Amino acid sequence: MTLESSFLVAENHFGDSIKKVIVIGSTGTIGEAVSTLLLNSGFSVIGIGRKVPSFDKKKENYIHHILDLQNTDLLEATLSNIVRDHEGIICLVHCAGLGEFSNIENLPISKIKSMLDVNLLSVIVSAKVLLPHFKKMDNGKLILIGSEAGLKGGQKGSVYSATKFGLRGFAQSIREETAKNNIFVTVINPGMVRGKFFDDKNFRPGKSVDNAIEPNDIAKLVNNLLDEEIGMVFDEINVSQMKKVIEFNKN
């Protein structure tokens, strides 16, 4: 049984005048915020996520593909079909992320592999499919959501940090390779973003508004980046909460 299914939207909703953006991880905290804001800003969004989005799946100018990003072969095939079937794709936003936090000796190999697949390999596969399309257009944008963990390693975050450091290195190389094709590659490195990421963790940001970044603030950054003209690129944008407060479970 395939992991992929779609909520189909009438093709005429995607007119040539509407710019199309692929959002990977569109059912996560940041991805849903990005998708919603882009739709409200007049973009068409093709979302990829492992579950049904919380916003109306019949929302105009939105198509959703259910897909587990650990299945990288299916991801490659799905993206190839999307590029083949839809003209006018101008940007890929990769928002998906998976975090398991423990001392390295306590992390099962399955958890390590899951983080590598979702946080890094799915980014590489996505770029592999989309960059030839952008090169043909001599234009395009690749916006990747990294993490502050990709700037500085921390306790119990060795593999998560490794994936995010790897994402930054990959983006730096791709940026060098594609600048001549007017392709814009940006990594956004947020600190703690309030949302579902912490639902299964034993820690979370503090309750105060200045203890965490709001998902919509990251979405606004993505929306602003889509308005940037060719000729200038933000290599990386580091975003931090004003006051770093972490709460831990008492049990």
H or E element at residue 126: helix 122-137
Q: What is the pLDDT of residues 73-132, one digit of tens each?
A: 999 999 999 999 998 999 999 999 988 888 999 999 999 999 999 999 999 999 999 999
Cβ neighbour number for residue 67 with a 10 Å cutoff: 23
Give the separation between CA 65 and CA 84, rounded to whole angstroms. Answer: 15
Q: What domain range includes position 126?
A: 5-248
Instruction: Quote the number of domains for the chain.
Output: 1
Q: What is the CATH number of the domain that holds 130?
A: 3.40.50.720
Q: What is the pLDDT of residues 20-33, one digit of tens each?
A: 999 999 999 999 99
Residue 160 CA, chain-centre distance (Å), reads 15
Give the separation between CA 9 and CA 47, rounded to whole angstroms. Answer: 12
> Is the pTM higher than 0.85?
yes
Structure tokens at 206: 């503090």
Residue identified by tokens 């390779």 is 177
Give the separation between CA 225 and CA 149, rounded to whole angstroms. Answer: 22
Average pLDDT, the chain: 87
User: How many residues appear in the chain?
Assistant: 251
